[in-house]
Structure 1
Amino acid sequence: MQPSISETLPPVFVINRLNDDHRRADMTERLAKVGLSATFIEAVDGYQLDIDNLPEYDREKRRRYFGKDLKAGEIGCLLSHKKIYEKMVAENIPRALILEDDVFLADKFKDVLEDIQRTSLPWDLIRFVGHGKVFDIGFRRLAALRHDYSITRVPTSPSGAYAYLLTLGAANRLLRFMQKNWVPVDIIHSRAWQTGLETLLIHPSPITPDLDGPSTIGDERFDRAKQITGLTKLLHPFYRFWYKLSNGVGKRLVYLLTWFRDSKYPLS
């Protein structure tokens, strides 16, 4: 007897700091309301790391392109997500739903998850970050889901790593890209032209971040003050220009090159 779709749903992993038991309780309750349970993964506390001697952090490249360091909270967040990818590889987990501990789930989210399991659409990474102005430019609908949700491709690279589905193959590939890090984890997710991952979004997003509560990453990441001097400061504008240019070209190139493949799907 074949297992039902509900029985084959991917495991849910929630990143949570050890002392944030109130967030853990909130997420347990929110997931239970939609018929899901989770394994909580202890977050890496970036503020406890020796960032100056961290082998996973490429400070020189980060400063060259951004003029400032990644913050401790950003590094901790990245390494927390990486910890789950390593778990998927070590335990041969085919797919997983990965959440941060400050999200809200739509009442019908489990239906959406079941529909994604049923679709024959190929994907490596499905991001639940379709809020805000992401879709103002236009998007390509590839598969209809229940309750007016759909799997889409967008010509932009939205930020946010608070909720996504990931395959084992994608976890392996991301780990290769995360040996030396210079951008936050959500930017890595956005760079599909570099990772080669089939990256799609759900529209509208059935998972949204809690924008009212305090961020565990820290607001200091929004500080625009530069931390560079000498030759690095002199060359920074050129590196920054190249970063923006390559980002713009890369995301639009992926959108254009996938047009013919996507046109095979009836909703495209």
Structure 2
Amino acid sequence: MQHKIYVITLPRAEHRQQAVRTQLEALDVPFTFVEGVDGAALERPPAGYRGRLRRLFYGKDLTAGEIGCFLSHRAALEQFLAEPEPYGVICEDDVTFCGDTAAVVEDIVSQGLDFDLVRMTASDKIARSRKKWHVMDLSGRYALYRMLDLPCGGWAYLVSRQGAQRLLDASRSFWMPFDTLLAMAWHSGVDAYHLLPSPILHEGTETLIGTGRFECRRPSGLAGAVYRLSRPCYKGYEALSRLAMATRYALTDRRRRSS
């Protein structure tokens, strides 16, 4: 495999680094570690974080772990763009690589698709989802799909230089977790596919982001009243944006099939 894997990790996660190193050396895959951002160590929200928008649309702030994760993925994209490779795989450090990871990455690149992003975050829920359509079969058990909902998970993705730049541009100000940004193609402008099944599996080990993102905390008083009005408006905007994204994808795929 000629395309490098960029593994996001924290300095203290030495056991995870060793596990990843053992796997990738056995697969003879080039890789490098990217030092992530520990959200718990941030004294204040970073420049670019739009807390008011987050609270307006979601009723609560991003957690420190989510902010650190977002900044870590930005750092990985920047490191990828600082090197000459046309494509790179960015992943987190709590993953397991299947033996055919390198082969399927090379297969995707060899198809000649002008893609920005291929997400490798398959779960049973995503596999069962009807909100997707088949684009093309790859070698073996793999295929590329378009996803029309907002699947969570950002632990692994293949990105082109153009895609990395678009993600960086779209993330200069943010109010969403990074995996949500990956799904919001209408916001970032990326041309994104989803690989099923995934050759890079999430281990489900103890998360360094924390579980606070799953806690249901809603504002009260005046802030709560504003949220109860703003949330349906945002969901309506999101639904229309997803429809526009699906239309754009359908036209792109039709042109590809007819060429």
TM over 0.5: yes
Return the alpha-carbon distance in structure 1 between the equivalents of residues 83 and 256 of structure 2.
33
Return the alpha-carbon distance in structure 2 between the equivalents of residues 83 and 140 of structure 1.
32
1:183 lines up with 2:176 in the alignment: yes
| 8 Å CA contact retained: 2:170, 2:187 | no
Alignment RMSD: 2.0
SS in structure 2 at match of 1:134 = helix
Aligned counterpart, 1:15: 8
Q: 1:81 aligns with which of 73, 78, 93?
A: 73
1:139 offset after TM fit, Å? 3.0
SS in structure 2 at match of 1:114 = helix
| 8 Å CA contact retained: 1:151, 1:200 | yes
Instruction: Note closer, same or farther for the CA distance 1:58–1:138 as it changes in structure 2 (3 Å cut).
Output: closer
| Greater than 6 Å deviation, 4+ residue runs | none
Unaligned runs of 5+ in 1: 1-5
Residue type of the partner of 1:70? L
Q: Which moved more, 1:28-37 or 1:118-127?
A: 28-37
TM-score by length of 2: 0.91
1:49 lines up with 2:42 in the alignment: yes
SS in structure 1 at match of 2:8 = strand
| 8 Å CA contact retained: 2:131, 2:149 | no
Aligned counterpart, 1:142: 135
| 8 Å CA contact retained: 1:33, 1:107 | no
SS in structure 2 at match of 1:147 = coil
Return the alpha-carbon distance in structure 1 between the equivalents of residues 187 and 32 of structure 2.
30
| 8 Å CA contact retained: 1:156, 1:252 | no
1:254 lines up with 2:215 in the alignment: no
1:223 lines up with 2:243 in the alignment: no
Residue type of the partner of 1:61? L
Residue type of the partner of 1:155? L
Taking the TM superposition and a 5 Å limit, the aligned residue runs for 1:172-251 are 172-211=165-204, 213-226=205-218, 228-251=219-242
1:126 offset after TM fit, Å? 0.5
1:258 offset after TM fit, Å? 2.4
Return the alpha-carbon distance in structure 1 between the equivalents of residues 122 and 237 of structure 2.
23
Aligned counterpart, 1:119: 111
TM-score by length of 1: 0.88
| 8 Å CA contact retained: 1:51, 1:72 | no
1:176 offset after TM fit, Å? 1.8
1:66 lines up with 2:58 in the alignment: yes
1:251 offset after TM fit, Å? 2.3
SS in structure 2 at match of 1:87 = helix
1:128 lines up with 2:120 in the alignment: yes
Unaligned runs of 5+ in 2: none
Return the alpha-carbon distance in structure 2 between the equivalents of residues 38 and 241 of structure 1.
43
1:191 offset after TM fit, Å? 0.4
| 8 Å CA contact retained: 2:120, 2:195 | yes
Residue type of the partner of 1:257? R
Return the alpha-carbon distance in structure 1 between the equivalents of residues 172 and 131 of structure 2.
34
How many residue pairs match? The answer is 257
SS in structure 2 at match of 1:142 = strand
